[in-house]
Amino acid sequence: MEEQSSSTNPQRSFTRKKRKLTIETEPLTLTLIPDHTHTSNHKQKQGRGNSENRKWVYSTRDCSNHKDKFVFVSYNILGVENASKHKDLYINVPPKFLKWKHRLRVIRKEIARYNPSEVDRFDDLNTTLQKDGFKGVYQARTGEARDGCGIFWKDEMFSLMHEENIEFKNFGLRDNVAQFCVLKMNGCQTHVDDTENLKTHRSILVGNIHVLFNPSRGDIKLGQVRLFLAKAHRLLETWGNIPIILGGDFNSMPQSAMYQFIASSELNIQHHERKKICGQNCPLHYPTFQCHSNYYSSRWNKEEIRLATGTKHSTYLKHKLKLTSAYHGVPATCLTRDEYGEPLATSFHSRFMGTVDYIWHTGDLMPLKVLETLPIETLEKTEGLPSKRWGSDHLALVCEFAFADADIEALDI
């Protein structure tokens, strides 16, 4: 099936709404791109770790030549509707910590440390972001659900060149959505249609996705990620092979076949059971549980194969991007990282503790530092998120990036 997606004019980003939206009932999966100036002092920030119990971990590479930097934040802030409908996930969380008024205040306080905007009612979002120097775009889920995805950027630092969205419902893949923005660093004279020189003028392609949760529907989850990566590659070709950052809640764990597919670019689904394709059946508390299934027990019917791969005639998946995980690229200790170099846990509630959120990037961007997640012992003391300190059942992932070609320029000097 030929991909169907929507493309919008940047000037109409906040007026194209399918229904009236308010942030009180429709929190976002956020991708925020703030200014980097607040993280410039390496020694001062490293010593005190400016996110309460969370500390910056720095790349071992020499970063002195990297001047064009920016901070990328990916954050699933937990929809109010989801929190109220699934109270069994938060049985250990005091009700006052689940109230949106409290969570919004805590989330505001947290994301202010990374220097992005505070988020208010969605109807007031445009005005709020303008006051804080940010612009953004939002894509609501289809169907009855009241959540969605949002990308926001510092207006002084970036300009929106292009926006596209994917509504997976068009492919029979549920009501989840994904979004893409091409952003150009300001101070350049490149015309909006001048894709040939876009890479020279510091532009990036940003993607954001919230993959279906249902652990048993690995076929649908793979189908969503397949289309997401394919769309990213097509946009990459259109806009001149600019750097890519893909963030979001992928609802897949590091030991899963889904992670393998994203990291290695290929996967034969016949080697894996559909219900275990994303590893959510293997939470952190049960590390000995075998995620990989026996080859001969991995039966997929033709419709499941079609949803996963896009065709009934092949069980082989392949994408054309070379992606690396930002956290994997900045090593840390076993207190917060697993054997794959990923955080031990980015989400914690009564039925799950593990990592499902990621920041993926291409090799023309280099992670300079990442904000560490919390040690398991610290998380367990909360008995579940949200808490007094943390406003969501997910932890924000934060990475400072630089354009990797600074290394090449340094060699030429």
Q: Write down the pLDDT at residue 407.
A: 53
Q: Write down the pLDDT at residue 131.
A: 58
Q: What is the pTM of this model?
A: 0.84
Residues 6 or more apart whose CB falls under 8 angstroms from that of 115 comprise 34, 35, 37, 38, 71
CA-CA distance, 110 to 115, in Å (whole number)? 9
Q: Write down the pLDDT at residue 413.
A: 37
Domain boundaries, the chain: 19-412
CA–CA distances in Å: residue 162 to residues 6, 31, 71, 238, 325? 11, 16, 20, 11, 25
Q: Write down the pLDDT at residue 101.
A: 81
Query: 23-26 — which CB contacts under 8 Å span 24+ positions?
Result: 23/104, 23/119, 23/120, 23/121, 23/122, 23/125, 24/80, 24/100, 24/121, 25/80, 25/81, 25/146, 26/79, 26/80, 26/81, 26/122, 26/140, 26/146, 26/147, 26/148
Provide the strand spans (E) within 53-130: 56-58, 69-76
Query: 151-154 — which CB contacts under 8 Å span 24+ positions?
Result: 151/31, 151/32, 151/33, 151/179, 151/181, 151/206, 151/208, 152/30, 152/31, 152/32, 152/33, 152/116, 152/117, 153/32, 153/33, 153/181, 153/183, 153/206, 154/33, 154/34, 154/35, 154/116
CA-CA distance, 124 to 120, in Å (whole number)? 7
Q: Write down the pLDDT at residue 107.
A: 77
Q: Write down the pLDDT at residue 189.
A: 40
Tens-binned pLDDT, residue by residue, of the chain (413 aa): 444 555 544 433 433 333 333 333 333 455 566 665 444 444 434 434 433 578 999 998 887 777 788 989 898 988 777 888 888 899 999 999 999 888 877 877 776 677 543 332 344 345 545 656 778 888 889 998 777 888 888 888 899 999 999 999 999 999 999 999 999 998 644 444 455 555 457 899 999 999 999 999 999 999 999 999 999 999 999 999 999 999 999 999 999 999 999 999 999 999 999 999 999 865 555 444 344 444 445 689 999 999 999 999 999 999 999 999 999 999 999 999 999 999 999 999 988 999 999 999 999 999 999 999 999 999 999 999 999 988 889 999 999 999 987 554 443 43
Domain 19-412 grouped into CATH 3.20.80.10: no
CA-CA distance, 413 to 408, in Å (whole number)? 9
Q: Provide the phi-psi class of 202: left if phi over 0, else alpha when psi is between -120 and 50, else beta.
A: left
Do 207 and 236 form a contact (C-beta atoms < 8 A)? no
Q: Write down the pLDDT at residue 156.
A: 86
- Taking the CB of residue 409, how many other CB atoms lie within 10 A of it? 12
Q: Write down the pLDDT at residue 106.
A: 82
